[in-house]
């Protein structure tokens, strides 16, 4: 049987460009190109000739865990437990608890099979008792699928960046990473503070490298599992590529230590690009962000409620957020394919370019002395602040559009300030602070 298109010779880049110029009728080709905020130019089309390397799949899994985010406070464990059980009964397959104080863990986990449900305990030092409370599950593989389900994500560098101070001292805080079954890096804050994708990745790599260097300096073996958390924004293809780049660069970094590890990539829809104005449009943003995360290869995803950060979450908002993922999984069949973007000339080129910028950012931070030195001297914050200022300028000039916020507003709405942060007013170092682009 004659092969389809065998009678047609393939067109190269130059031939495509000539056809585009013909269609432009005298307009320059450059009018179709635009400069990406991460520092490289996006062309109107791509061909195989532009790929620097042969495309290979970045990941092989097709499924992901649907996470429910739950903030837990002292004396509210029963309420948090009820919220978790309702979420699991309604389709969630994972739980992400944020805990910053001592709680009754037994009450929180009543009737929850931690050994079978992906459960993340995002804690600070005041909740360090969780390490002992869930030690029977932490770092243990599930006997049925061989996957680790329980993660106690105590990340001293994240806490240093968020609060602007060590809990005790660098030596004491970093010792919490010794003899751990996995390494945890929480890079969500870098997005939330306004950093561009390349900067987020570069800082997250420096964050991870600080732990890798510390472990090797203590003659400690590098764990075989790394848990990396990243926030996802609304730039659909860039965010998809960001996750592919994260997998590639983590492995590249590990090679420098002659080590190998499996990467669990946890993702969460970001808050930086959300607004209380025309709040329902946040649903559109979190939907495309969830799609980027899934297509980019996340292992677990937390789609935050559309009013998160501005109002107290309601059961309705939680249900809608959960169902966004369930529709993508059960009705759009996003769990039936793996790394579908591999081979796309545009996405492959975007991934290469973003990876180069991220690696350059990482090397620049290392040249400054590494993550801790760069942070304590304020250079890390300056990088993020520069990106945030550029985004705020783009928003103010309407070159960066937020539908219903700075363009296509429906009706005038009163300004609703974001919920307050708990960061102290006076700290030894400048903390990296959560920002909101529209506020």
Q: How confident is the model at residue 418 (pLDDT cuts 50, 70, 90)?
A: low
> Does residue 156 carry a pLDDT above 70?
yes
- The two tokens of residue 74 are 């002292």
Strand partners, 311: 308
In a 3-state reduction of DSSP, which class is residue 148? strand
> Does residue 307 carry a pLDDT above 80?
yes
Of the candidates 33, 36, 39, the one whose C-alpha atom is nearest the C-alpha of residue 358 is 39
Tens digits of per-residue pLDDT, 51-64?
988 889 999 999 99
Tens digits of per-residue pLDDT, 109-120?
999 999 999 999
119's enclosing H/E stretch is strand 118-123
Distances in whole angstroms, Cα of residue 182 to Cα of each of 98, 147, 249, 273: 19, 13, 18, 31
Query: How confident is the model at residue 425, as a pLDDT?
Result: 65
Of the candidates 400, 429, 422, 411, the one whose C-alpha atom is nearest the C-alpha of residue 196 is 400
In a 3-state reduction of DSSP, which class is residue 403? strand
Query: How confident is the model at residue 2, as a pLDDT?
Result: 62
| Structural domain containing residue 324 | 155-345
Buried b (16+ CB within 10 A) or exposed e, 280-302: ebbbebbbbbbbbbbbbbbbbbb
120 found inside a domain: no
Q: How confident is the model at residue 311 (pLDDT cuts 50, 70, 90)?
A: confident
224 found inside a domain: yes
131 found inside a domain: no
48 found inside a domain: no
Query: What is the rounded CA–CA span in Å between residue 199 and residue 45?
Result: 26
Query: What CATH number does the domain containing 300 carry?
Result: 3.20.20.240
**Cβ atoms of 436 and 274 closer than 8 Å:** yes
Query: What is the rounded CA–CA span in Å between residue 16 and residue 381?
Result: 43
Give the mean pLDDT of 148-156.
96
Query: How confident is the model at residue 366, as a pLDDT?
Result: 98
226 found inside a domain: yes
The four Cα atoms 375, 379, 382, 384 give a dihedral, to 10 degrees, of: -50
> Does residue 121 carry a pLDDT above 80?
yes
Q: How confident is the model at residue 232 (pLDDT cuts 50, 70, 90)?
A: very high
Of the candidates 56, 54, 60, 55, the one whose C-alpha atom is nearest the C-alpha of residue 263 is 60
> Does residue 164 carry a pLDDT above 70?
yes
Of the candidates 121, 127, 137, 116, the one whose C-alpha atom is nearest the C-alpha of residue 181 is 137
**Cβ atoms of 268 and 239 closer than 8 Å:** no
- The two tokens of residue 11 are 């067109």
> Does residue 423 carry a pLDDT above 60?
no
**Cβ atoms of 423 and 163 closer than 8 Å:** yes
163 found inside a domain: yes
Number of domains in the chain: 1
**Cβ atoms of 184 and 155 closer than 8 Å:** yes
**Cβ atoms of 134 and 106 closer than 8 Å:** no
Map tokens 């529209």 to a residue: 438
> Does residue 32 carry a pLDDT above 70?
yes
429 found inside a domain: no
Of the candidates 207, 212, 163, the one whose C-alpha atom is nearest the C-alpha of residue 186 is 207
In a 3-state reduction of DSSP, which class is residue 427? coil
What is the pTM assigned to this prediction?
0.94
Residues 6+ apart with CB under 8 A from 4: none
Residues 6+ apart with CB under 8 A from 106: 133
Q: Quote the mean pLDDT of the chain.
A: 93
Choose between 108 and 438: higher pLDDT: 108
242 found inside a domain: yes
Query: What is the rounded CA–CA span in Å between residue 221 and residue 212?
Result: 9
**Cβ atoms of 137 and 114 closer than 8 Å:** yes
Strand partners, 301: 66, 267
Strand partners, 399: none
């Amino acid at each position: 049987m004659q092969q389809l298109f065998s009678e047609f010779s393939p067109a190269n880049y130059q031939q495509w460009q000539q056809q585009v110029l013909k269609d432009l009728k005298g307009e320059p080709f450059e009018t179709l190109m635009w400069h990406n905020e991460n520092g490289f130019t996006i062309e109107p089309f791509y061909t195989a000739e532009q790929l620097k390397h042969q495309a290979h799949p970045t990941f092989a899994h097709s499924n992901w865990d649907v996470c429910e985010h739950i903030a837990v406070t002292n004396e509210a464990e029963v309420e948090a437990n009820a919220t978790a059980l309702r979420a699991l009964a309604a389709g969630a397959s994972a739980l992400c608890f944020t805990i910053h104080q001592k709680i009754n863990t037994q009450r929180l986990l009543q009737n929850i099979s931690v050994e079978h449900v992906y459960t993340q305990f995002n804690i600070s030092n005041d909740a360090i008792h969780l390490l002992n409370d869930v030690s029977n599950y932490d770092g243990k593989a599930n006997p049925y699928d061989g996957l680790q389900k329980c993660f106690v994500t105590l990340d001293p560098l994240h806490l240093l960046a968020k609060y602007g101070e060590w809990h005790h001292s660098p030596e004491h805080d970093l010792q919490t990473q010794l003899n751990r079954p996995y390494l945890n890096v929480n890079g969500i804050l870098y997005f939330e503070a306004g950093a561009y994708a390349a900067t987020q990745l570069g800082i997250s790599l420096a964050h991870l490298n600080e732990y890798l260097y510390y472990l090797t300096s203590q003659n400690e073996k590098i764990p075989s599992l790394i848990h990396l958390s990243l926030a996802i924004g609304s730039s659909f293809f860039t965010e998809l590529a960001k996750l592919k780049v994260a997998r590639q660069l983590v492995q590249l970094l590990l090679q420098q230590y002659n080590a190998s590890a499996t990467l669990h990539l946890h993702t969460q829809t970001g808050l930086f690009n959300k607004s209380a104005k025309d709040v329902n449009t946040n649903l559109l943003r979190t939907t495309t962000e969830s799609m980027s995360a899934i297509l980019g290869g996340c292992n677990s995803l937390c789609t935050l409620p559309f009013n998160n950060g501005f109002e107290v979450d309601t059961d309705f908002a939680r249900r809608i957020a959960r169902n966004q993922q369930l529709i993508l999984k059960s009705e759009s069949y996003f769990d039936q394919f793996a790394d579908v973007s591999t081979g796309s000339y545009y996405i492959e080129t975007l991934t290469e370019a973003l990876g180069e910028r991220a690696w350059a950012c990482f090397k620049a931070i290392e040249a400054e002395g590494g993550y801790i030195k760069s942070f304590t001297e304020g250079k890390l914050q300056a990088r993020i602040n520069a990106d945030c200022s550029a985004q705020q300028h783009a928003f103010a000039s309407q070159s960066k559009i937020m539908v219903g916020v700075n363009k296509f507003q429906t009706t005038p709405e009163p300004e609703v300030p974001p919920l307050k942060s708990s960061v102290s007013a006076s700290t030894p170092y400048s903390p990296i602070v959560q920002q909101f682009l529209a506020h």
